[in-house]
Structure 1
Amino acid sequence: MPLVVPGINSSMGDKPDWVTKLMGKTIGDNSNETSFAKQDLPQSHRVLKPGDMKTMDHDPNRLNIHVNEEGAVHDVNYG
């Protein structure tokens, strides 16, 4: 089975490439080189920190943003 890396060798359809926009940045109040403004995210999103509880319902339009202990984005997917 081939390795599929979202945003690199797969398509997210007509959805923006959030991987490129968010990877390595923190989510904050303003956008700059190291941060992305929360108000610029899609309405249906959630930011998940290590150990956070989350619902297991699947919403193909919800953007899931996974951050590490320092708050930097390390994974982005829909679901």
Structure 2
Amino acid sequence: MPLVVPGINSAPDSKSDWANKLMGKKLSDTTSDVNSFAKKDLPESHRVLKPDDFATTDHKPSRLNVHVGEDGTVHNVTYG
């Protein structure tokens, strides 16, 4: 198994980094506990997608897409 050192041989803020930070947490305006994540701490280029939200089909490789459920809990993180 190859050694992966964050920021050296992997892209900083890669999808897996964001997935580890966000999966299972609720997005909120401020971080109030360990089960939430503040929207202001997301990268500048991001969008939060709720079920049944319309999303443009333009592909922006650096844009973080945060997919949340009806209750605001993150269930998927993608780029594009």
What interval of TM-score do these two structures reach, taking the shorter chain for normalisation? 0.7 to 0.9
Where does the alignment leave 5 or more consecutive residues of structure 1 unmatched?
A: 1-12
Which residue is equivalent to 1:65? 66
In the TM superposition, residue 29 of structure 1 has moved relative to its aligned partner by 1.5
Matched, 1:34 2:35: yes
Tell me how large the CA RMSD over aligned residues is. Answer: 0.9
Output the amino acid matched with 1:77.
T
Which residue is equivalent to 2:11? 14
Cα separation, 2, equivalents of 1:38 and 1:71: 12
TM-score (norm 1): 0.80
Identity %: 58
Output the amino acid matched with 2:12.
K
Query: Which aligned runs of 4 or more in structure 1 are off by greater than 3 angstroms?
Result: none
TM-score (norm 2): 0.79
Where does the alignment leave 5 or more consecutive residues of structure 2 unmatched?
A: 1-9
Output the amino acid matched with 2:28.
G
Count of residues in correspondence between the two structures = 67
Output the amino acid matched with 2:62.
N
Larger Rg belongs to: 2
Cα separation, 2, equivalents of 1:56 and 1:20: 25
